[in-house]
Amino acid sequence: DRIRELLMLYSTPDNLEHTVSSLHFTEKDLQKALDDDQFILHYQPKVLVRSGRLVAVEALCRWPHPDIGMVSPAHFIPLMESTGLIHELTHRLIDQSLNQLRNNLDNSKAIAIGVNLSPVVLTDTQLPDELYKKTRALNIEPELLTLEITESTLIENAARALETLARLKMKGFSLSIDDFGTGYSSMQQLNRIPFSELKIDRSFVQSANTDKTRKAIIEANINLAHTLGMETVAEGVETLEEWHLLNQLHCDMAQGFLIGKAMAAEDLPEWEQQWTE
Ligand code: C2E
Ligand code: CA
Ligand code: CA
Ligand code: CA
């Protein structure tokens, strides 16, 4: 009955935004989906702006729901966080990412994988040791796993989160600061945690060609990151104009629909072939 209810909510195409935002699952739905191993990862290419070369992918969670189709993370991550199910989800997704990494390495492709870490899992100070064990078991350099953390979320449980991040760094994992510029303590976080990558939020990339303020913010952030020895990634690059501007501002990497959407791992080789043509 719940399924029918959800289906009805979901199947109003001309009101999709509204119906999608009213999609709500229960803890039981999510626990069952975890038990059935229904959560998968899609991978979005991260390429060098200078050359277009594929250097990394970001792993984005997807739920191919057996009855309602592909569900985006916005509809289940918050409940996963408030119920604590996010811990189990994170471990499963990291296992999937590491298997993918191992697979790529076996095919002589050293492509880093970025995984999103919820602030909730940063309260688990065992996480660094557990992740390290997983990489050792598969003989993977921890550096190839980039952990993306949204800066605004660092505020809660700050002391604990900082300790976990420091331990992750000590184990050799790469740390990336996600959605940079959208939080309110940007500069402060930067000198407290050894991030190696800074991701410029899509809201700054959009229309940076026509909006002088946004362009100035991007430029300042890129320069700041480089001064601190960090690499920069522009998120949500959708047009060639944006790409050219980023190149001019010496942004290191780009990610967005212009380059490619998140896709199943098996579709990446075909995407790469078309992209490099
Ligand atoms: P995010 O980490 O900032 O991920 C980028 C989001 O922007 C993704 O949405 C991606 O599909 C979308 N995107 C990429 N390029 C473009 C573009 O050119 N234009 C536009 N309009 N959008 C673009 P998605 O996959 O729906 O993920 C949304 C958020 O959900 C993520 O934001 C992340 O915060 C969270 N999330 C996704 N997967 C996971 C996960 O495995 N764990 C956790 N904790 N959070 C996740
Ligand atoms: Ca991210
Ligand atoms: Ca982001
Ligand atoms: Ca985001």
Ordered mean pLDDT values, 10 residues apiece, the chain (277 residues): 55 42 83 97 98 97 92 93 96 98 94 95 95 98 96 68 92 94 65 88 89 92 94 97 97 98 96 94
151 CB within 6 A, ligand 1: no
- pLDDT of res. 60: 98
143 close to 149: Cβ distance less than 8 angstroms: no
CA–CA gap between residue 257 and residue 239 (Å, rounded): 8
CA–CA gap between residue 150 and residue 177 (Å, rounded): 6
Cα(148) to centroid(ligand 2), Å: 5
Coarse DSSP helix, strand, coil percentages of the chain, rounded to the nearest 5 percent: 50, 20, 30
91 close to 123: Cβ distance less than 8 angstroms: no
233 CB within 6 A, ligand 1: no
86 close to 95: Cβ distance less than 8 angstroms: no
What is the residue-wise DSSP string for 210-270? Answer: T-HHHHHHHHHHHHHHHHTT-EEEE----SHHHHHHHHHTT--EE-STTT---B-GGGHHH
Those residues whose beta carbon sits under 5 angstroms from the ion ligand 2 are: 116, 148, 178
ipTM: 0.98
257 CB within 6 A, ligand 1: yes
178 CB within 6 A, ligand 1: yes
- pLDDT of res. 184: 58
Cα(110) to centroid(ligand 3), Å: 23
What are the E-state strand segments in 18-111?
A: 40-48, 54-65, 69-71
